[in-house]
Copies of this chain bind each other. A is one copy, B any other.
């Protein structure tokens, strides 16, 4: 009954108002976000049945996460952590602009999910999903979680789910070398690899143009599909020996955070629904561009809007 299952950490996101610095703000905007739940939200909003697997503190903050995800139509499958040390990872996002960029301060150490093991997770809820997705953030969070990630990927493949993985390299969590090693240890269990081109350069130490790198990865690691994203330069995919290229859609960016996850969510939602790679890339790109116009990590968009962008009807004032 589940089209797409995802596994990963979802954090509380706290942001000062625009123009205000974290050091001095009196007000924080509160939202929740996490790469894997962002993907789940995008897919759910585009019509897929999605389940998000995770571990959360048994607290108002933990309930906040499930409430937010359920509101978008995602089914949370959660191991509730009632221990004294239970906590929800938090991140502070300070919006910036040249010459200081936006800044993310993580306060996620020791979050409940870092201790998650397969036996305590309600894995039954994701068994038989058409697709299982997680990202490179998850194994970076703790050695326990690295093992759990590997086991879940193996298990998903074993029950017939397609497995998808986004490198999602985070320099504040680990070094490129550590990340690269961890990624490669997971590649045997991954069918669809999504990655930012720069993460392939940085962590997998590859060079060349995106298509060359995608082909190289496929040959070396035997992925079914490799999708490389290139920011404003669009994306490329290689699948079954065929190459696909997709431009990015122009966007008036309000909040860039989460647009990459919206791309993945849009792409996977379309693929799982039986769509072709070319069209799925377009859906992903449209979801990403729309998400840039909206505050917060998640793709508060509709299938109609995504289709409208793909059909090039966006913009203006409709009344």
Give A residues with C-beta under 8 Å from B. Answer: 14, 17-31, 59-61, 63-64, 67-68, 70-73, 85, 87-88, 90-92, 94, 96-107, 109-110, 170-172, 249-252, 254-257, 286, 289-290, 293-295, 300-301, 305, 308-309, 314-319
Contact = CB atoms under 8 A, between A and B. Distances in A.
A18 B254 contact: yes
Nearest to A22: B60
How many copies altogether?
6
Contacts of A99: 249-251, 286, 289-290, 293, 309, 314-315
User: Which of A28, A171, A250 has its CB near the most chain B CB atoms (within 10 A)?
Assistant: A28
Given A98-B251, A100-B290, A109-B110, 16 more contacts: A14-B14, A19-B295, A22-B60, A22-B61, A24-B67, A26-B26, A59-B105, A60-B105, A87-B109, A90-B90, A96-B293, A97-B293, A100-B308, A100-B314, A171-B318, A172-B319
B289 A23 contact: no
Given A314-B98, A314-B101, A27 B28 contact: yes
Contacts of A87: 107, 109
A96 B60 CA distance: 14
Nearest to A65: B23
B104 A318 contact: yes
Contact of A20 (B91, B256, B295): B295
